[in-house]
Structure 1
């Protein structure tokens, strides 16, 4: 038991020693850990700085290696010079570009200013050699004869040349310029070289496209004198449309193929390219305008159709203007439209003046057929719907009623502004004045004839034809829309008046011959002689009418109307003859009446109807 207690006591003592040692070790380790933490905090900034220094040291080593590489390459500058001076050879463009890139790199790392200047001159020479190749390729794509066919074919750039040009242009755009490499000695010279090449591109493309359009423009002008006016104007519009199409296509090509693409330089280059095309447009329109002015009454619809065609192209032309360096300074289409518009404005009062003049100096015997100015006016009115928009616009600009020169109004004065007037209404007013002027001139001409009967036939023929063509049976389905109610009433009234004049001058004498004189004593010798004289006179006058209608035709252009007039004459004459004949027979004016009644009423009717077959 004592031994066990002793061992336990010894064990407790050892345990206490062990615990004491553990506590001391824990204290020492804790202190060591704290010192390590403090050490780590102290060393971490130094470690970070050391890493950055290592990275910089690595970069410096790599840069030195590159510098050594570039420096070593300068030993072959003589070889590069020979390559550059020889110029880019076929199939060796990449090699040439690599040589220029090495020279540019050499300039960047050269220590000697003199060596840099020599290398810069070599770079500038290389740039000039490349632009010479560029100009040569552009010239090949802008040479030869343009399409000479009747149909216009836009000049195009050969695809094979485009394939060669695009990589060349892409490299030219990487050459050092003052804006991108302000310290590069060759940058100003390279910029001047590229500008010159770009101007050459614009000049070649502009003149090439002008040649492609010029022949077709000349053909349009030549055909204008023989082609229908409306179609000739539309043909000119199509030609201008082709010109605009070429200008639009060239702008796309310009942005793709020029080395300098900044906005100002590109717009200036486009101005140079467009100059020949715009000059051609101005010259061609001027030639067309000269033809119109030489004979305005003949080429009125050429002027109106041209004005209409050009007006429709204004929006596209405005887009073209915005791409030019001189946008807003000159608008060739607007100037051309102003010139054509002035001619169109002249045409309306001059047309009315020509209609008035048609009634002058037509005295004496003349044809009873259609007057030239009647046919011309019908054609004029039936062509208006084809250029209706242009006519309405021009008339509104002229001013409502200002086409009546000499009637108290002057062209260009009075009337409402274009924004306040409906073009359709103004056209109706103008058509009304045209119709009334034609009718007045026809009436004047008919009255100047020495024989009134022929004058009345002339008036009936012309008024009937005029009314039928512009109102009842217009050649153009759109025609009735331009005839206002007053205009239609004037035409109907004029036809009634013309018919009345025709009946009066040709058949009133017949009916007057059969009138009875109440003062004569029925059954007396004087009465019988008078009746016999009336019958004789009636058939003599009927023979004169027959002869007159054999010489001239009534309503030759209108079979239906002619037949209707014949029926009206029959209803006018035959009943009077029947009543007079019946009455005189009842009174036994003669035992040999067959000597005086040469034709029965039925035979007279047949004869009258024969006048109109």
Structure 2
């Protein structure tokens, strides 16, 4: 047993010895490795100390190389505008009249972009290039302006507006292609103007447009301006202006048509904020010519105010309507047209008081009247004036609202050229037609007051004076009813009725004389009074109760009545009366005289026992004579 154990221990001891031998080798190897690592660390530090400066220099060289590359790139970039300038200058120095406009505009765009880039670089070395490119853009933009102007001029030959008016055609407008081309050019010109800091309200292209198209409009309207002034001249100094005989309506219609067409052109070419200023600038010259024409008309009207004031009303009406239409269509031109109207509007205001004063003066200064009481031509003239005024109600009512009710009673202050404002003139809500009716009645009453005074001065007898006044009233009423004055003056009928009653009373005053002869005295305390109506009266019994002296009085009354009555009948038939007046007066005389005579005749007709010596008319005969008066 001991032998095998010893063999096993010997084997394990041998393995231990081998392990120990390996361990010794490992320790020896470890020491060698540690010694190598120490030597390597020393070598690494030596290498680092040697290579460190070289690496730093390398980094700096890399940075320097990068900077050099950038400088070279900047130099190349700086050289590009100079190269580009030479290329674009060849394009921009030559106007593209027959060339490619899109290529020309592209060149301007490229030059403009290059200029923006140079300005953004903020390099001093670029200042010369910036100046050169800016000059090149100026040349290019000026060439574009010339193209813009030339293109406009091709379609700006003056026209004859009357042809458009008479044929009903629209006024010519620029074509869609031309408008698109002009719009493109305008955009580039406007952009350059904005970049160059131009402070004018209108861009160069807008000024060119206003000049070319403004001249086109002015020249086209020149003949109508001349025609308007020519048609205002009078062949007969006393003739009254006839509505529509002046060319102002055609002038204003052409003005409106051309301005509307121009506004449509402007909307297609310019930006929204430019529409109004460009339109005003374009129309300025023709508006000045239009205002001058209206001043010429105003001078003519003031020289012939009584006969030609209607021309002033027509001008106001026509131009006001044109102003309204243009304001509604374009939103512009209202104020310039209103300013052009101011002189003639003031003249129209003054005409109302002048016409009223003329009516008053003429009616009071009549020096002779016809002995038959016929109406004066003056009445017809005055009413014709009022009839003519009804054709101009819109302008007249506007003027009357500005004057206020009764503001026409006194002449306007001619020295200041404007009427004196009153509280009533601020009543903008006043009824214009009512004011016109008040003016008409003021005119009619001024006429009738003057005629009544002349009648009293120049005609003998209130009867004839009444006929004269009634005849003139009949003319007034007839001319009212046969015209547009009728509905306007319906509320004033009571005033005319008062005048008619006055005329009737004046005429009937003369018939009081025969009526006085038909009055008698009855003494009811002596005997019962005979019935005056409803029962037959016994004339013989009445006369029997009278004394001889009373009978003589009755005879005298019949005789005096006959003389007075026959005289008045004769005069009545010799008077020149309007049909309505004769019928009206005859009816009133019959109503007045017949009842009195019938009563008197019934009581006393037996005074001559039917011989007709004193009683010339029986009741039927007298009624027939009275009926013949109507």
The TM-score by the shorter chain falls in which range?
0.5 to 0.7
- The yes-or-no answer on 1:157 pairing with 2:173 is yes
Which of 588, 606, 629 is the equivalent residue of 1:586?
A: 606
Once the two structures are TM-superposed, the CA of residue 131 in structure 1 deviates from its matched residue by: 3.3
TM-score after normalising by structure 1: 0.65
Q: 1:533 and 1:175 mapped to 2: Cα distance?
A: 110
- The yes-or-no answer on 1:202 pairing with 2:201 is no
Q: 2:288 and 2:161 mapped to 1: Cα distance?
A: 20
- The yes-or-no answer on 1:456 pairing with 2:482 is no
Tell me, yes or no, if the aligned pair for 2:518 and 2:600 is still in contact at 8 Å. yes
- Alignment partner, residue 565 of structure 1: 585
Over residues 514-549 of structure 1, what are the superposed CA-to-partner deviations in whole Å (9 max), with x where a residue is unaligned?
Answer: 66799x964899669847854762575156326514
Once the two structures are TM-superposed, the CA of residue 143 in structure 1 deviates from its matched residue by: 0.8
Tell me, yes or no, if the aligned pair for 1:467 and 1:492 is still in contact at 8 Å. no
Q: 1:126 and 1:415 mapped to 2: Cα distance?
A: 62
Which of 549, 555, 559 is the equivalent residue of 2:578?
A: 555
Distance 1:94 1:377, change over 3 A: same
Tell me, yes or no, if the aligned pair for 1:399 and 1:417 is still in contact at 8 Å. yes
Tell me, yes or no, if the aligned pair for 1:393 and 1:423 is still in contact at 8 Å. no
Distance 1:565 1:163, change over 3 A: same
Q: 1:230 and 1:140 mapped to 2: Cα distance?
A: 41
Query: Is 129-138 or 218-227 further displaced after alignment?
Result: 218-227
Q: How does 1:411-426 map to 2 (within 5 A)?
A: 412=420, 415-416=423-424, 418-419=426-427, 422-423=430-431
Tell me, yes or no, if the aligned pair for 1:397 and 1:418 is still in contact at 8 Å. yes
Once the two structures are TM-superposed, the CA of residue 372 in structure 1 deviates from its matched residue by: 3.7
Q: 1:130 and 1:564 mapped to 2: Cα distance?
A: 86
- Alignment partner, residue 505 of structure 2: 500
Which of 270, 275, 281 is the equivalent residue of 2:284?
A: 275
Over residues 254-273 of structure 1, what are the superposed CA-to-partner deviations in whole Å (9 max), with x where a residue is unaligned?
Answer: 35336xx5957x76654431
Over residues 143-198 of structure 1, what are the superposed CA-to-partner deviations in whole Å (9 max), with x where a residue is unaligned?
Answer: 14333335486642342xx524523541453369656666xxxx99xx99x95554
- Alignment partner, residue 450 of structure 2: 441
Tell me, yes or no, if the aligned pair for 1:233 and 1:304 is still in contact at 8 Å. no
Query: Is 132-141 or 561-570 further displaced after alignment?
Result: 561-570
Distance 1:228 1:205, change over 3 A: farther
SS of the equivalent of 2:307 reads: coil
TM-score after normalising by structure 2: 0.64
Distance 1:153 1:513, change over 3 A: farther
Query: Is 371-380 or 173-182 further displaced after alignment?
Result: 173-182
Which of 146, 158, 170 is the equivalent residue of 1:132?
A: 146
Tell me, yes or no, if the aligned pair for 1:146 and 1:211 is still in contact at 8 Å. no
- Alignment partner, residue 361 of structure 1: 365
Q: 2:262 and 2:595 mapped to 1: Cα distance?
A: 83
Which of 563, 574, 579 is the equivalent residue of 1:537?
A: 563
Once the two structures are TM-superposed, the CA of residue 440 in structure 1 deviates from its matched residue by: 1.6
Q: Which runs of 5+ in 1 are unaligned?
A: 1-55, 325-329
Q: 2:222 and 2:568 mapped to 1: Cα distance?
A: 68
Over residues 395-436 of structure 1, what are the superposed CA-to-partner deviations in whole Å (9 max), with x where a residue is unaligned?
Answer: 454354454449xxx973764461488446766655554443
The CA RMSD measured in Å over matched residues stands at 5.2
Q: Which runs of 5+ in 2 are unaligned?
A: 1-65, 119-124, 412-417, 523-545
Q: 2:607 and 2:81 mapped to 1: Cα distance?
A: 147
Q: How does 1:299-338 map to 2 (within 5 A)?
A: 299-304=308-313, 306-307=315-316, 310=319, 331-338=335-342
Q: 1:413 and 1:84 mapped to 2: Cα distance?
A: 64
Once the two structures are TM-superposed, the CA of residue 208 in structure 1 deviates from its matched residue by: 1.5
Who wins on radius of gyration, i.e. which is larger? 2
Q: How does 1:234-313 map to 2 (within 5 A)?
A: 236=248, 240=252, 243-244=255-256, 246-257=258-269, 269-304=278-313, 306-307=315-316, 310=319
Over residues 84-118 of structure 1, what are the superposed CA-to-partner deviations in whole Å (9 max), with x where a residue is unaligned?
Answer: 66642547434554566677688889999888877
Tell me, yes or no, if the aligned pair for 1:103 and 1:119 is still in contact at 8 Å. yes
Over residues 346-376 of structure 1, what are the superposed CA-to-partner deviations in whole Å (9 max), with x where a residue is unaligned?
Answer: 2333333223213323244326333344334
SS of the equivalent of 2:305 reads: coil
Query: Is 426-435 or 108-117 further displaced after alignment?
Result: 108-117
SS of the equivalent of 1:462 reads: helix
Tell me, yes or no, if the aligned pair for 1:464 and 1:555 is still in contact at 8 Å. yes
Query: Is 424-433 or 140-149 further displaced after alignment?
Result: 424-433
Which of 170, 185, 189 is the equivalent residue of 2:184?
A: 170
Once the two structures are TM-superposed, the CA of residue 278 in structure 1 deviates from its matched residue by: 1.8
Once the two structures are TM-superposed, the CA of residue 141 in structure 1 deviates from its matched residue by: 0.8
Q: 1:134 and 1:179 mapped to 2: Cα distance?
A: 15
Tell me, yes or no, if the aligned pair for 1:382 and 1:474 is still in contact at 8 Å. yes
- Alignment partner, residue 28 of structure 1: none
- Alignment partner, residue 538 of structure 2: none
Tell me, yes or no, if the aligned pair for 1:155 and 1:209 is still in contact at 8 Å. no
Q: 2:190 and 2:599 mapped to 1: Cα distance?
A: 115
Tell me, yes or no, if the aligned pair for 2:171 and 2:257 is still in contact at 8 Å. no
Over residues 7-39 of structure 1, what are the superposed CA-to-partner deviations in whole Å (9 max), with x where a residue is unaligned?
Answer: xxxxxxxxxxxxxxxxxxxxxxxxxxxxxxxxx
Tell me, yes or no, if the aligned pair for 1:205 and 1:273 is still in contact at 8 Å. yes
Query: Is 446-455 or 199-208 further displaced after alignment?
Result: 446-455
Q: 2:419 and 2:278 mapped to 1: Cα distance?
A: 44
- Alignment partner, residue 536 of structure 2: none
- Alignment partner, residue 539 of structure 2: none
Distance 1:417 1:153, change over 3 A: same
